[in-house]
Structure formats: structure tokens, C-alpha cells
Amino acid sequence: MLDRLQPVHFIGVGGIGMSALAGILAARGYSVSGSDPRSAPVVEALKCKGVQVFHEQTAATIQAVLGNSSAKPLVVISSAVPDTNGELIEARRLGLSVVHRSDVLAALINAQPAIAVAGSHGKTTTSTLIATLLEATGQDPTAVIGGIVPAFASNGRHGNGSLLVAEADESDGSLVKFQAQLGLLTNIELDHTDHYPDLDALISTLQLFASGSGRLLANRDCPILREHFEADSWWSTQTSEGVHFAAIAREERGDGTLADYYEDGILLGSLNLPLPGRHNLSNALAAIAACRLEGVPFAALQEALSQLQPPGRRFDCRGLWRERIVVDDYAHHPSEVAATLSMARLMVSSGLSPLPRSPQRLVAVFQPHRYSRTAQFLQGFAAALTQADLVLIAPLYSAGEAPIPGISSTALAQAVRCLAPCLEVLEAQTLDQLADQIAVCSCPGDLVLAMGAGDINGLWERLGALGDRAMAQAT
């Protein structure tokens, strides 16, 4: 599908998945262009790599791309590009080849030895850790990740080594196109209910992904994986018996985990992981197992562990605001929220953390994402949020979905209050009001943990603008 003589044009090139592909193709010598109305850092980085970026998504952009080359471009879209997009309408009118971003990723995966990471939770972190370990051990991988990899300061990387590491997103089912040398499944839990009617449909899709992989590495601790999949290799953080790879925690701290590492039941040594939380131990073990299956020596991996960092928006410390520690996290499923809050609680209780200072109290700021997901998991979200000392609910982020009667931030706040009547729970009508609530209700020493997949990641900037807003209101 990919031809170096054919230009490639990405509609919405600044998207986290699109930008990685555009950057890699540009590094490999393709003529790449894209459109995006935003002037985000990732867009500016693409310009530095030679990608021509248009800021208008109209028919005129397609005409401009056509004028740059005698060859007709391949037009790439994502699931976020609607049929009403002006560029897309013009590309189809002219009969240009239009493909989904997953087709481009599949072409890269299927063209070289690849590790494709799928699963309901942890796939961005696990693929980030795999790419980081491969780079730290001299493998020089190519990487296509759904988050910013700290070791690369980018979500995409062109390497000269033989391996490619890719995050395989299950949200729209397109990962069935991938034929990786090694497929990896972190876990399965019902999500993306806008696409999957039930858990069986999600399982069936991931089974197709697994059957297309040369080998399958999977998490034995996940009961759904145990029941429905036949893996070539299993990993576990619960037992070293009956699995190929195991990491059994010896010491769990707020700033990391010390674990014993086993292969086929034999103790090989210890892992000193600088990432706290049992979920991160599982992610790191999966990454180590994948590297071991690709022949990387254990001693080299053991030494490289100190370089591991989570991807952007995964417990991402934004800084200190009025002596509060503000952290941004992508958690938007009850299991993710529960795991993130459990890790944060460990930091509070142990007095140890990777944060600038040890937090004294846990303030959970959560933005529900999609009406469908909130309706499906309302009670699960409420139960997870009860781990906090103070809960603030942001306005629900619809992601373009139509409202569902009775489903709102207020409904979630009420569900939390029913489970924990003594817990202070507030909901905000706007993000500016949310920032005001944090200023009034939080205290110095608090860990303000903002979670969600919507625009809650802009909370840090809104907190910083509080003083400006107060002055404007005063005048």
C-alpha cells in the first residue's frame, strides 16, 4: 500500500496516532503533508521533520496538496474524521485513495518484525516501556505509541533496528488488520461500549488479533484471558508456577517496587522498578517478557530498568500550585481510576513518592468521558472514587455523543455520596468553576489528581489563570 513515490496526506495530522505515523514516514523519506487547525507542540515538531502542515481543513487544502506533486496523494484519516470534513469530501470527489490510519500502521507492522501491544488497560504504558527497554539495550527500535514516550520526547520514532513496537488500539476494532511477530495482551475488560455491544464482541475481536500474531504473550492474572485465549507465553505478578515469566513483589513503596523475577519457575534475580503500583509491575513485567522473547539478555534489561518512565498523561506531575501537587492522568475506566487512586494512596500512606514532595491528602478530580461509558460504569466509577479524601467531578466530556437521560456529572456525584456519605463530593458546571473549587476546598500538601480522557488535561493551565480571572472580575 505504501509507495515512496506517492505522497501521503494526513487529515488531522496532529492526532496522537496520526502524528506518530506521519513523523515515521517523513523520516523514511516519504513526502508527507497533513492538516490540523491546532498549533500544538506535536504539530510544530512535525514541521521540523519536514512535514508540510495546513491549518485549514477545506477542499482548498486538497487542491494545494495536488499542486505539490504530479502523483496523486494517499489520503489518511482516523475514526475521528467525520464524513462532513471538507478535505475528505474533496478527496473522495476527486477519486483519491482514502485509507484509515490503521491501514498505514498495518503496513508498517506487517513489513518488519513487530511487537503489537493490545488490551483494555495498560497498553500505552506497556508499549512505552518495551520501546524504552529496547532503546536502552541498543536495539534502536521504531515505535508507534499512543502517548509521549519520555525517552524519545515523542509518540513516534524511526529506528534503524529490526524491531517495531506498536500500540494496537482496540477501540474501533481495526487492530484485526495487524500481523505482528509478537502479539501482547495486557488484559480484557468491557469498554468502548459505543463500538462493542457486549464483552463477547470485544473478546472475539481480540481473538482475531491474537490469531493474526506469530506468537502471543498474555497476562495470566486476567481471568478473561485465561478462559478465552491460548497464549504461547504467559506472565504473572501473582505466582511463578505455571507461567513463563513472573515478578513477585517483595516490597511495594510509593516510589517503586522491588520484586523477585522468575522465568519458567526459576529465580533469576530481582527487579528494582522505579514505578509504583501493582499495575505498573505487571506492565513492566510484560515489557521485560516481550524483550526476553526477542532475545534481549536479562542482565541488560535489569540494568535498564532505572530508565523507565511512564508515558505522558500517565500520572504526569505538572508541578506545584499554591503548595498543592497537581498530577494529570488519562484514567477513564473504573479499573484505571481505581488503580491510579490506589497508587496515589500508597504515596500518601508511605510518605514515599516520585513527586516533588510527599502528599498529605488525596484529592480526586474526575471528568466522566462519554455518556455511554458513564452509563455503563456509573457505580464502578463511584466505588473507585471513594478512595479519595475529597472528590470533585468535572463536567462530563461527551466526545460527540448525544446525551443519555439521567446520565451526568451530577448523577455520578450522587452515586459517590450514596456509597460514602461522609466523603465531601462537589461537581462543577464548568472547568473554570472546577478550578475555583480546587482553590477553595483543597489544602497545601494535597495531591490534586486530575483524571479523564477529555479536556481535563487543561486543568493545570486553568489553575494558573485563576489569579488573572480574579483580577478581571474585580475590575
Q: Which amino acid is at 136?
A: A
In angstroms, the CA 29 to CA 45 distance is 16
In angstroms, the CA 289 to CA 283 distance is 10
In angstroms, the CA 327 to CA 125 distance is 17
Cβ count within 10 A of residue 376 = 19
Catalytic residue among 167, 170, 336, 427: 167
CA dihedral 364, 365, 370, 372 (to 10 degrees): 30
Q: DSSP characters for 389-456?
A: SEEEEPPPB-TTPPP-TT-SHHHHHHHHHHH-TTSEEEE-SSHHHHHHHHHHH--TTEEEEEE-SSGG
Catalytic residue among 61, 87, 90, 124: 124
Cell of 278: 501493582
Q: Which amino acid is at 120?
A: S
**Which parts of 240-322 fold into alpha helices (H)?**
278-293, 298-304
Q: Look at strands 154-157 and 142-149 and give their pairing.
A: antiparallel
Q: Is residue 124 annotated as part of the catalytic site, yes or no?
A: yes
Angle at 73 between CA 152 and CA 96, to 5 degrees: 130
Q: Which amino acid is at 231?
A: A
Exposed (0-12), middle (13-18) or buried (19+): which is 122, by Cβ within 10 Å?
Answer: buried
Catalytic residue among 123, 128, 205, 336: 123
Task: Find residue 157's DSSP bridge partners.
Answer: 143
Among residues 378, 352, 349, 350, the alpha carbon closest in space to that of 366 is found at 378
Q: Which helix (H) or strand (E) holds 46?
A: helix 41-48
Exposed (0-12), middle (13-18) or buried (19+): which is 385, by Cβ within 10 Å?
Answer: buried
Q: How far from the centroid of its chain's Cα atoms is residue 297's Cα?
A: 28
In angstroms, the CA 58 to CA 35 distance is 9
In angstroms, the CA 450 to CA 457 distance is 7
3-state SS, one letter per residue, for 352-401 = CCCCCCCCCEEEEEECCECHHHHHHHHHHHHHHHCCCCEEEECCCECCCC
Q: Is residue 167 annotated as part of the catalytic site, yes or no?
A: yes
Asked if residues 313 and 457 have their Cβ atoms less than 8 Å apart, the reply is yes
> Which residues are identified as catalytic?
123-124, 167
